[in-house]
A and B are shown apart, each in its own frame.
Chain A
Amino acid sequence: MSNSYNKPVLPKADSKKVSIVVDGADVEVPEGTNLVEALKTIGIDTPHFCYHQDLPVAGNCRQCMVETDGPRGMGLAIACYTPVRPGMKVATDRSSEKVKTARKAVMEFLLANHPLDCPICDKAGECTLQDNYMSSGKHESRMREEIGKQYKGAPEHRHLDAKGQDRGGKHIDLGPTVILDQERCILCDRCTRFMRDVAGDEQLYIAARGDHAFITTFPGQPLQHDYDLNVTDICPVGALTGKHFRFQQRVWLLSKTETIAPDDSLGANITVEHHDGHVWRIMPRRHPDVNKSWISNATRLLYQTLSENRLTGGSFRGADVPLADAVERARELVHGARKVALVASGHLTLEDNAALLALAESLGSRAEVFGGSWLAVGAPDGIARSGDPVANRLGCTLLGISDNLSDLVRRAKEFDCLVVAGHDLWAADAERAKSLSVIPERIALSAWHDATAQASTLAVGIRAWAEVRGSMINVQGRIQRLQAAPTAPTPDLEPAWQVISRLGHLGWTSEVDAFRFAQGRIPALSGLNYRTIGSQGRILEGVAP
């Protein structure tokens, strides 16, 4: 049984090194780590099911067997729960037949009653059971076909399948988000450990004993938690699947784009997975200091909004206009106005807000920039959300955009043109936003047909967060990159910075121009570029509040 005290020690860049002997060769590995992690640092992958970097070690799958030296000579031990000891001897499957046989035997037991569901299983293609079979199984079947597979789980879910075989535990509805397939489960108990130690709400447990054990919820209780879809990621087989992605797409068809979540100021690292210009799912991307391996259900389901209610062209006084005409008209309005209010947004990237500042600069004293948000700020949940829905709030603050939306409401009558970029003011607080309606020309740059786009006289479509390149600064003061997935509903849509660059004749041709402008405003960004920020982001010195 796992406990929170046996969290694995992970190697760090500054870990002290100790010398051990692996397969007869002397190697240096980080001190204090377990053998799975230590062997990984020297390029040896150890197959495993139950071990997970961000969960307590359970050591129940027995797949990660290696040979280590003990008082009675070399013997088998699980690599995930054997700490590195200076001078220890380790034999992996590269040198030890015993290790190979042990791993093969474990695979044979795990597959004995595992259904041959791969063609219809949503996990196929990213299944640990498939991977480990290829790396350390490949045994000849010793099963007797006339007996076939046996279902050992909960008796109320037993049935005969279309071939008359003993099956069971199929598509059990666990709750609003997750479906369980008990037959596919290999009882690694990652999901129960996640619910207990990460989510802090023990809703899943293992019932019954031995090979009759099965995963279930407490009687009559659903699996329902803000983070429960993470159990579908950590499930090494297709036992737990999310209803949102069930049967939607085969995983090997998906291309991956690494980006960050735009709905929270922690900026959880995610991978947008797309195929044929359509985003099919969002998966967490491991970052040890931001979101570990977890994302909230809200973040995970964000992709559904990417194809809903999109503003693909422009709209002028309620009538649809082509995008190019809308941009042209916006440019005329901005330049013809006596006094322009520009509303920046922490929902947009640093680059987009930099473009807005450059536009204000080009308009001189006729323009004024406002910032801030009317959305409620919650408390951090300690997993993968900071509670602040404005993802780039710190970035805006560093750019010198102050939290002064209330000023704009008070002084609305002074302006005759309003530009709102990527900010749904009317949805956040319709009552306060209503007072902005006294401004005769209201221009909204928006990816969606949202309340602000509808309340504006001119709406211009822009790309949404998954379709742009750029950067945001999260609540920790870490600058992180957004990458563009090729999924924009129409190829004509441009990122906000590009539209704003057209409004102000800035002549910017790529987000790098915008980033350079932001570097001029934020000294902490000096010396950085997209490559040095990297996929894991960079902490900016001295900017975290």
Chain B
Amino acid sequence: MARVVPRPEMTLAEKAYIPEILRGMRVTWSHFLKGFNEPETLPVQSYPEVQWEIDRNYRAKHRLMKRPDGEPRCVACFMCSTACPARCIHIEATESDDPRIEKKPAKFDIDLLVCVFCGLCAEACPVDAIRMDTKVIALAADTRGKFVATKEQLLDWNPADYPASDTQSQKAPGGLLNAEARARWAQGDAT
């Protein structure tokens, strides 16, 4: 059953049209003049010179997490590419050189033009190897090929850009916890 919504009754002043138009223009002009006279009070930013602080939880460009020795944490299990609704993750697996690890990615490409930034890859990852917390949201390139982020590009990030509380990032080479993690890694602990 369709629900009938009665139209609000208009008063005589509203029916006359002109007074209502003038009332609307008053709002428009008041904003215009306010921006004209005191622009610093406006709730806008001069993007792109000034940018918003992006939250870590914002789903931005991906990065691949690293083990203490700099190798990717990824074990090439294809969970992310299986979960990916856009099918933009292309992985090729190979045997790892480290006898403690069985499988590693030989190729790990994310086609950022196809990616819908849904975050399902990061959610599906069983080893916390892929994250979307780089805060990189504006992507620019002059060919389609350059929008494909390779394994090397995804591994190219600096622990200094991440907070000290992000212990997993700080265990990567160059991070605050790297020396300690490296020593434990040599003994066989990679947690």
Q: Hey, which bits of chain A sit against chain B, CB under 8 A?
A: 117, 119-120, 159-164, 170-171, 246-248, 250, 252-253
Q: Is there contact, CB below 8 Å, between B103 and A162?
A: no
B46 at the interface (CB under 8 A from A): no
Chain A residue contacts of B149, Cβ below 8 A: none
Q: Is there contact, CB below 8 Å, between A161 and B93?
A: no
Interface SS of B by simple majority: loop
* Chain B, interface residues (CB within 8 Å), range: 20 to 34
Q: Which of B99, B102, B189 contacts A163 (CB 8 A)?
A: B189
- Quote the shortest CB–CB distance from A312 to chain B (angstroms): 23
Looking at B11-19, B73-81, B165-173, the stretch in contact with chain A turns out to be: B73-81
Chain A residue contacts of B76, Cβ below 8 A: 120, 247
- Residue pairs across A and B with CB atoms within 8 Å: the count is 49
Chain B residue contacts of A170, Cβ below 8 A: 99, 102
Interface SS of A by simple majority: loop
Q: Is there contact, CB below 8 Å, between A250 and B103?
A: no
Task: Tell whether A120 pairs with B100 under 8 Å between CB atoms, given A160-B188, A164-B187.
Answer: no
Interface residues of B in 48-105 (CB under 8 A from A): 67, 75-79, 82, 93-95, 98-103
Task: Tell whether A250 pairs with B189 under 8 Å between CB atoms, given A159-B99, A159-B100, A161-B100.
Answer: no
Chain A residue contacts of B164, Cβ below 8 A: none
Q: Is there contact, CB below 8 Å, between B95 and A247?
A: yes
B35 at the interface (CB under 8 A from A): no
B127 at the interface (CB under 8 A from A): yes
Nearest A residue (CB) for B190: A162
B30 at the interface (CB under 8 A from A): no
Q: Is there contact, CB below 8 Å, between A163 and B75?
A: no
Q: Hey, which bits of chain B sit against chain A, CB under 8 A?
A: 67, 75-79, 82, 93-95, 98-103, 126-127, 185, 187-191
Chain A residue contacts of B77, Cβ below 8 A: 119-120, 250
Task: Tell whether A120 pairs with B103 under 8 Å between CB atoms, given A247-B93, A247-B94, A253-B82.
Answer: yes
Q: Is there contact, CB below 8 Å, between B189 and A164?
A: yes
Bound CA span A164–B188, Å? 5
Q: Is there contact, CB below 8 Å, between A247 and B103?
A: yes
Question: Which of A159, A170, A250 has most B Cβ within 10 Å?
Answer: A250
- Quote the shortest CB–CB distance from B123 to chain A (angstroms): 14
Q: Is there contact, CB below 8 Å, between A161 and B188?
A: yes
Q: Is there contact, CB below 8 Å, between B100 and A250?
A: no
A-B contact pairs, 10 of them (CB 8 A): A119-B75, A159-B99, A161-B100, A162-B98, A162-B100, A162-B101, A162-B185, A247-B95, A250-B77, A253-B82
Q: Which 3 A-B pairs have the closest CB atoms?
A: A119-B77, A247-B93, A162-B190
Q: Which of A120, A162, A250, A253 contacts B188 (CB 8 A)?
A: A162
Bound CA span A162–B188, Å? 5
Chain A residue contacts of B189, Cβ below 8 A: 162-164
Nearest B residue (CB) for A248: B93
- Quote the shortest CB–CB distance from B114 to chain A (angstroms): 14
Bound CA span A164–B190, Å? 8
Chain B residue contacts of A120, Cβ below 8 A: 75-77, 102-103
Bound CA span A120–B105, Å? 11
Bound CA span A247–B101, Å? 13
Chain B residue contacts of A117, Cβ below 8 A: 102
Further pairs besides A119-B77, A250-B77, A253-B82: 5, Cβ < 8 Å: A120-B76, A120-B77, A162-B98, A246-B95, A247-B103
- Quote the shortest CB–CB distance from B183 to chain A (angstroms): 13
Q: Is there contact, CB below 8 Å, between A119 and B102?
A: no
Chain B residue contacts of A161, Cβ below 8 A: 100, 188
Bound CA span A159–B101, Å? 11
Chain B residue contacts of A159, Cβ below 8 A: 99-100
Chain B residue contacts of A119, Cβ below 8 A: 75, 77, 79, 126-127
Chain B residue contacts of A248, Cβ below 8 A: 93
Question: Which of A119, A159, A161, A164 has most B Cβ within 10 Å?
Answer: A119
Bound CA span A251–B134, Å? 32
Q: Is there contact, CB below 8 Å, between A252 and B190?
A: no
Bound CA span A537–B157, Å? 58
Nearest A residue (CB) for B87: A276
Q: Is there contact, CB below 8 Å, between B78 and A160?
A: no
Q: Is there contact, CB below 8 Å, between B190 and A163?
A: yes
Bound CA span A252–B78, Å? 10
Bound CA span A481–B94, Å? 36
Q: Which of A164, A171, A252 contacts B102 (CB 8 A)?
A: A171
